Structure 1
């Protein structure tokens, strides 16, 4: 009877540990996807000529004969941001998984180099499971937080990773102490 109780206790304990690890892994994936999404959006915005402008507002003629139209930078316009969000999750194929030696948590880093840059791919694991998990998490984040993403990228330029992924969406509540350039 005592051995049966010990065995049941061990099974319950192992189940609890599995659930906690699963939740932690799920949070790591969502946080990594959010931080990668921000990194990809920031990079794409930086590739646009800052002098390129687009007219926004109403093209209706007001009673006084004027129009409520203004020029805004194309890179941070709602139309451009929506276009970027349509394809940003495809970029998750360029990311792999590694273990942070300090926090012992999984993090996701770009292993495919962009033009003119090289990436350190030592200790980075790349497989279809990681890519599909990151892509799914990214798509979910974009779908559930589209308005917040547009709001942050149209106005904010500093510390978007922490402000969007940690403070606004709570996807990375464990990551507030992570450096800004780290995923």
Structure 2
């Protein structure tokens, strides 16, 4: 998703700040019309900064999950392509 599809809003009572999506999604009826307009704003910068901070803070965990997912995907692909029921990566190879 594009970060500038969101805007930062502040609740007038609680002063809580949240990001809310204002742009339609691709499946929405008005999507084609909406994409004819160009919006530029620095309002998305706090969201970008927040996302970058989270990614930086949890970088090792994120890469670990991606690596684990890649291993699982490789095992699944090997077993599907070989036609065997078990995972080829888990069994000893001759």
Instruction: Decide: shared fold, TM above 0.5.
Output: no
TM-score normalised by the chain length of structure 2: 0.43
Between the two structures, name the one with larger relative contact order (CA 8 Å, sep ≥ 6): 1
TM-score normalised by the chain length of structure 1: 0.25
